[in-house]
Homo-oligomer: A and B are copies of this chain.
């Protein structure tokens, strides 16, 4: 029985700062921050919880939905509502970032640059702190890359896992989550293009150079290798589709990046 103790929820709506559903969100969020709701916990059924909190079921559902939208709760029809289980690295939903980029007309160049900044920071930290087991994981993924030089799809899997291994070795879950969020947005764009096989062998060797820098606990080198790798990856991606841009856009003067495709 993983259900939380129902008496925790006795805190009915005391005052109304804003709307009632906003109050529900505040209540639930507070329970999580206070540790009364832990990952994997199942919330009481909506009908019961609504009574406990003193609100109607639609209002409670509105609050639950708000927290589900940001990836904190997860409702499964017929099963219940759960606090999201965190197996693996912590993660943030990428859709808010993606939507924000669309609303502001951000360019893919800015997104690439953000990823570069995060990955460089993470690589530097990993070079300072990586433990033996984490080193081994990275090395294994690189071996997997070399073994998949003829299979771009498989290569990509090892590529992604290597970067996650580096992030894990950094020991900073906040940066890891941010990095994955940005990477996910770029991945969702990239997946639309045909996966034209770029030079996988060169890519594998760049990854190996990153690994060696981390292995030798050389943060500066790790950052530099990571930067080289990502700049080259970006360039390769930009060359893949030069058929969409009708003319050179010139409304944004703050970026000297190559790609100015609006997201």
Contacts and interface: CB of A to CB of B under 8 A. Distances in A.
Contact of A255 (B32, B113, B171): B171
Interface in A133-168: none
B96 A92 contact: yes
Given A65-B62, A70-B70, A90-B106, A256 B178 contact: no
Given A83-B103, A84-B103, A114 B70 contact: no
A101 B29 contact: no
A102 B172 contact: no
Given A33-B102, A86-B104, A70 B92 contact: no
Given A72-B103, A113-B172, A121-B121, A97 B66 contact: no
Given A72-B103, A84-B103, A174 B111 contact: yes
B174 A110 contact: yes
Given A92-B97, A96-B71, A114 B61 contact: no
A67 interface: yes
A221 interface: no
A90 B65 contact: no
A13 interface: no
A80 interface: no
Nearest to A128: B256
A184 interface: no
A113 B175 contact: yes
12 contacts: A33-B98, A65-B69, A66-B66, A67-B69, A71-B100, A72-B99, A104-B173, A106-B174, A110-B173, A117-B122, A117-B175, A129-B254
